[in-house]
Amino acid sequence: MSWTKSELFTRSRSLSVIIPTYNESQNITKMLDIVSSCLPPETNAEIIVIDDNSPDGTGEITEEYARKSRDSGGCEIKLITRKDQRGLSSAILAGIRASIGESVVVMDSDFSHPPETIAKMIEELKRSDCDIVVASRYVEGGSITGWPFKRKLISKGATKIAQRSLGIKIKDPMSGFFAFRRHIIRNIKFDAIGYKILLEILVKAKEARVKEIPYNFTDRKSGESKLDRSVISDYIKSVWKLYRYGKSIIERRTSVHFLSKAGRFYTVGASGLLVNYIVSFLFGAVLSNLWYIYATMIGILFSMTSNFILNKIWTFEDRDTSLKRTLLQYGSFLAFSGVGAMFQLGMVYVLVGTEHMSYALALFVSVAVASIGNFILNKRWTFKEKIWS
Ligand code: GDD
Ligand code: MN
């Protein structure tokens, strides 16, 4: 691959403007004129047009325009022509992949998105230290001109669905006009179904800080909208996928929490054995010559107490140390330990006595069952947590 002269001198840019087109021959020239004149000169921007091999010649017009612009030292314009793929989201994604700007702006090519807003978006991106700026029809100052009631209704309905089912906070997640810092999408695996690439970014870049600024959406004057029936079913599909995605993240997080708590609980149990042994030994043989049964009882009490304290503070991270609550928890913890011990005893008795299992195996099975039971009972009742959390 060979580099053009301007690519050799400027291998990185601060801004890329992504413009998807399909049959926009009536709009594209004027659009490129206005967008390039609206870009702040210091941004050293590139414009990327992604055309899905439009039959009306949009690609050829763009190619010609890009050549002239390059020859006259104007704005860098790249054309990507996709011959065997169609679809707005995937076109935008192809544009983003081919772009090199630190910030990226995505917009339509039919003047629904006023190019003058780009400078405001970039300004906001810099000024407010956020990662995504969404040009919004639904914040104060924003509006829609030229849409029939039915389209407004569909747009509002789709917005509500996104907000409710995906936990999206912003007012216009269905916007097709937005800017973002490139780094926020670096770990995203895109599905790119349908129209709504912004929605996918909002769901999958959860940590991103988002701002909305108002703009006036004006329905196109030339050419035709590409929104057809399949857009609605694609929308439902993509929301469902994103919903499942969110759920799977929560599931994964929950199982990590559960397992790490179980791990701590067993570690505490093991430390209890050590405490038990050392304390019993100290009382029985070193400090005083207590009867070994008494010394063992003291050892058990000590280990249960240290187990309780460690589980409260470390395993279940319970910071409420008020006396009443702590004593109630302590009582419940001791009771479950007692129940666990009785259960273990009973189980060994049945497994060895009636089932004729070897003692080693019976002991292993009953200790395992009793300790799992102990963990769950204490999690649920002593420390009042949900079991699966
Ligand atoms: N490359 C490519 N491939 N571009 C496409 C395709 C496609 O399959 N479909 C549409 N486009 C381009 C159009 O040429 C236009 O520049 C832009 O994407 C938006 O298409 P329209 O057909 O004009 O969409 P709209 O006006 O109905 O939808 C608008 O409203 C939505 C908000 O409700 C767009 O602004 C969307 O971006 C926006 O999300
Ligand atoms: Mn449009």
Q: Please state, in angstroms and rounded to a whole number, the distance separating the CA atoms of residues 360 and 314.
A: 32
- Region for 57 from its dihedrals, namely left if φ exceeds 0, alpha if ψ lies in -120 to 50, beta otherwise: left
Decide: helix, strand or coil at residue 249. helix
pLDDT at 4: 52
CB 199 within 8 A of CB 166: yes
Q: Which of 17, 19, 22, when mutated, tests ligand 1's pocket best, judged by the most ligand atoms within 8 Å of its CB?
A: 22
Residue 87 beta carbon below 6 angstroms from any ligand 1 atom: yes
Domains in the chain (CATH in brackets) are: 5-227 (3.90.550.10), 252-382 (no CATH)
> Is residue 262 predicted with pLDDT exceeding 50?
yes
A 10 A CB-CB count for 301 gives: 13
Q: Which stretches within 282-322 are classed as H helix?
A: 292-310
pLDDT at 11: 58
Residue 21 beta carbon below 6 angstroms from any ligand 1 atom: yes
A 10 A CB-CB count for 63 gives: 16
**Burial code of 18-33, b = ≥16 C-beta within 10 A, e = fewer?**
bbbbbbbbbbbeebbe
CB 226 within 8 A of CB 88: yes
77-108 per-position pLDDT tens digit: 999 999 999 999 999 999 999 999 999 999 99
Q: Which of 18, 21, 32, 88, when mutated, tests ligand 1's pocket best, judged by the most ligand atoms within 8 Å of its CB?
A: 88
Q: How confident is the prediction for the chain on average, in pLDDT?
A: 92
160-212 per-position pLDDT tens digit: 999 999 999 999 999 999 999 999 999 899 987 767 899 999 999 988 999 99
Q: Whose CA is closest to atom 24 on ligand 1?
A: 225
